[in-house]
Amino acid sequence: MKKLILSLLFFYSLSINAQYCLFFDIKVDEPEMVVSAMNELMMTDWGKNIEATKSLFTYGPNGTNEATHSIQFCFPNEAAFENAFISYGQSGEAQLIWERKLQGFSEDISQSLNTPIWYNGEDWAEDNVFMIYQLEVSNPSLYIEEFQSLSKKLEKKLGIEGNSYGIAMPIVGKNSEFTHFVWQGYPDIKTALSITKSMFSDPLFAEFSKKVSGSRKVINTLMSIRVMDF
């Protein structure tokens, strides 16, 4: 985690008026030990005082991603993000738990700081299952325009008015394979699967895919399931 601090704080100067979500994707053989370490970490003064949602996710079908779980912190603004990392550097207790106990039961796969570039305004902290589509987008403005148009048309048709969905991009820790990702949040696995199946078979989605075929390539798709919040 220390390796990210300087590079992450460098990007604090970016004036993006949006939330920031920090993803630590890890490979785990003993999930219960990671849960135990996370509980201990969140009971430290650092864990209690950071201004962020703190969650552990497990990956269901996840394509080419080697990670089995994802630790995620979502900050409301730049100041909250900066304060979390400054206070982490000052907390020997938090560092000891993260860098010895937590990392002792997991293998780092990837780390990234992500921000939404457009979303529907719904709170993703209320969703439990996410379908995620990692994309290589060569014309972001066109893709966003078409995605917004499709979402507006399908929202009532598929019954997803209260679900969170949007487009995000990694601004630190960027993966060389994809430039953006789309997320769609759902209350549970069965709802995620049934609505996704309906979306893929809808003529509106086929029309959308045709319009953006020259500006986006689907790299990977995965399902992320909330295990617990801290």
> What are the pLDDT digits (tens) for 184-196?
999 999 999 999 9
Res 1: pLDDT? 58
Res 174: pLDDT? 67
Res 64: pLDDT? 83
Q: What are phi and psi of 213, to 5 degrees?
A: -60, -30
| Boundary of a domain, candidates 59, 81, 114 | 114
Q: Is residue 135 domain-shared with residue 216, that is, in the same domain?
A: yes
Q: Which residue segment(s) compose the domain that 140 sits in?
A: 116-229
Alpha-helix residue ranges (DSSP H) falling in the chain: 2-10, 31-42, 45-49, 78-89, 92-96, 103-104, 140-158, 189-201, 203-212
| SS3 label, residue 70 | strand
| SS3 label, residue 129 | strand
Q: Is residue 121 domain-shared with residue 108, that is, in the same domain?
A: no
How would you classify residue 134: left for phi > 0, otherwise alpha for psi between -120 and 50, otherwise beta? beta
User: Considering its fold, how many domains does the chain have in total?
Assistant: 2
- pLDDT by position in tens, the chain (length 230): 544 544 444 444 333 444 999 999 999 999 999 999 999 999 999 999 999 999 999 999 888 889 999 999 999 999 999 999 999 999 999 999 999 999 999 999 999 999 999 999 999 999 999 999 999 999 999 999 999 999 999 998 999 999 999 999 999 986 678 999 999 999 999 999 999 999 999 999 999 999 999 999 999 999 999 999 99
| Gap between the Cα atoms of 167 and 180, Å rounded | 7
Q: Is residue 46 domain-shared with residue 134, that is, in the same domain?
A: no
pTM beyond 0.75, yes or no? yes
| Boundary of a domain, candidates 114, 136, 167 | 114
Q: Is residue 128 domain-shared with residue 58, that is, in the same domain?
A: no
Q: Is residue 182 domain-shared with residue 106, that is, in the same domain?
A: no
Q: Is residue 183 domain-shared with residue 219, that is, in the same domain?
A: yes
